[in-house]
Structure 1
């Protein structure tokens, strides 16, 4: 398979905090689909005319981007996906300015301005991975996903496209989660749109109707696949631990009420709250 190579600089509005952005992508990377090598994050892309591989490296004034494509007509689409993945169209002055009016968040933002939301280049892939990760550790979720890729992935250069079609019965997980996966795959086959341009209200309603899709899974998909800047995860363990440490309410209902002050940027507040914990998603490996 011949790949056509293009290199570009992806600009952004400064500041940009790369720690949680690349740290999250690296810590949750699926072997075979994504990798971190010598300061560069690489992963495969599913595109309108073919497929490809993107290589991304953060710099002070831009993100260096190299894309290798099976069809050169996909260049614009590939660059758009890379920008969406890294949330490079965000306006940090507006977001940080709004969140900094909260005295609890203000010190966090002052310490690390310009946090972005780590997203995805493929909403369907992310939804499948979210189900694989339900009620298991990050490491276990990566193991489940890697097995799926090794059996059903499509080769692209030295990596693989994540499979979007497979038999859930083959998954080594509880029957209830296999039913959840089957329902998701059927919904995707029936037209569930999880692209950045999808209608968020419709997607949230459809996802909520699926068995096994609680608020954490639904909001995670809205945040990272559809780019909803106000998606919020009050039941997430990391968020609840951060809330406790900061003197915020810890019950989901009370935290939702308290988070009204952060609208419409609650997805960014989530990034700052997560960063209060000592977890690998918050840092780029040395």
Structure 2
């Protein structure tokens, strides 16, 4: 019950005032040092001027000396400095913004991606189609600080992570984190952490992955069901673009300013996922880290999700069997939409073959193959201008893929977590040959909607039949109301529970296509 109560509490910070409505709940969670609450709020100690994560091992002060804040930036705006023991900059993101798709949630995602560093607050406001004043007012009401303070905290946190976890020079770290000058870097780091950046480099530089790789540790709230996640990604891995081997996910990536290769390896014993990366330009590092967190759903709150889904008799044993099940996201929304459309007409294996050929024929090749990785997935521009029929993509699929590419390029359709979910879903549904369950898949994995739920999905109907429940749409819809706002997680639990079966040549959507 504590987890769900906190979920209603931590987004209500008003300017820099501490949260009082659920003070006792926050205090109880802090005393328990339960990792499930890590990142959901921050604890500031008046007598020391320091703010910490709720899992900080430091002695617990008395209640009258504590203030609780919904985000690190709000604590800093109130004059507190980040703890050098528990590293607030390394905590998971607030799961509240996984649920919300309003202006504030979208703004926070864009700030985390580094948009303010590149385009300024005016660019952020333009992306969200609001005035700067309105954006500042909304953020101040929801999280206690405006966009500049949030961006400043993000830069400082990124820099601290890079100082602690890499052997990059401080100058490189400063500009990689988004600072415009070394002076700004030094001043911000001193204000945030109470010391100069060089003081963090007293210890021996951390070991790196060799061959120019950087290694970062991405934290999450336990439990984390990595086996199911890796199985899901492995069965859908596009030849030449991605692979899953030895419990490690590896793929090529194309970002606005850079290209490279990433590896993600879960380490459950330490509650982290190791990110090994090679980028041609580190200016996209913040964006890359956010994409990786989204791909592995690292900001989810398993306790909150399990509390809702575990109350259902159908899902209770499934949640118990796979605690901490995550929904795979995507590194690129256009790529995910292409995959989802291909799944409408063919099995997973056939889609892999066709899209692997698409990547091989249209995508840019690596200078040197790495394992089975050889190409980057093609951009919308390449898909739109290519003769898809010459590379074996024909009929409705070719038309659908090029229609999607045209809408992304010419009509600026955004397929990422900062998009307006309702508008994007409506636009996708208007595309020819786009089925509702395909749009639901895109909404879940590309737009980050945890409640997306494809009622007409054949895999969902088979799951209900497998568990002895009525398969008609009305019965499924009624049953699923109790799962809000986590219906997408319920769907993945149901898919994962299905036994393997042999494909039926007369079935348009093979029973094994989802899991």
- Higher RCO structure, 1 or 2 (CA under 8 Å, sep 6+): 1
Q: Does 2:397 match 1:177?
A: yes
Matches within 5 A, 1:1-286: 4-60=212-268, 61-156=271-366, 158=369, 159-164=374-379, 165-166=382-383, 167=386, 168-170=388-390, 172-190=392-410, 191-279=412-500
Deviates more, 1:157-166 or 1:224-233: 157-166
Instruction: Using the TM superposition, give the Cα deviation of residue 149 of structure 1 relative to its aligned residue in structure 2, in angstroms.
Output: 0.9
The structure-2 alpha-carbon separation of the partners of 1:256 and 1:14, relative to structure 1 and needing over 3 Å to count, comes to: same
Deviates more, 1:218-227 or 1:36-45: 36-45
TM norm structure 1: 0.92
Alpha-carbon distance in 2 for matches of 1:170, 1:50:
29
Instruction: Using the TM superposition, give the Cα deviation of residue 271 of structure 1 relative to its aligned residue in structure 2, in angstroms.
Output: 1.0
Deviates more, 1:67-76 or 1:157-166: 157-166
TM norm structure 2: 0.52
Alpha-carbon distance in 2 for matches of 1:172, 1:149:
12
Structure having the higher Rg: 2
Q: How many residues align?
A: 281
Q: For structure 1, list consecutive stretches of 5 or more residues without a partner in the other structure.
A: none
User: Does the CA contact (< 8 Å) of 2:345 and 2:397 recur in 1?
Assistant: no
User: Does the CA contact (< 8 Å) of 1:45 and 1:51 recur in 2?
Assistant: yes
Deviates more, 1:44-53 or 1:194-203: 44-53
Instruction: Using the TM superposition, give the Cα deviation of residue 172 of structure 1 relative to its aligned residue in structure 2, in angstroms.
Output: 2.9
Alpha-carbon distance in 1 for matches of 2:333, 2:408:
10
User: Does the CA contact (< 8 Å) of 2:213 and 2:278 recur in 1?
Assistant: yes
User: Does the CA contact (< 8 Å) of 2:212 and 2:278 recur in 1?
Assistant: yes
Instruction: Using the TM superposition, give the Cα deviation of residue 38 of structure 1 relative to its aligned residue in structure 2, in angstroms.
Output: 3.0
User: Does the CA contact (< 8 Å) of 2:318 and 2:493 recur in 1?
Assistant: yes
Q: For structure 2, list consecutive stretches of 5 or more residues without a partner in the other structure.
A: 1-210, 501-511
- SS at 1:151 equivalent: helix
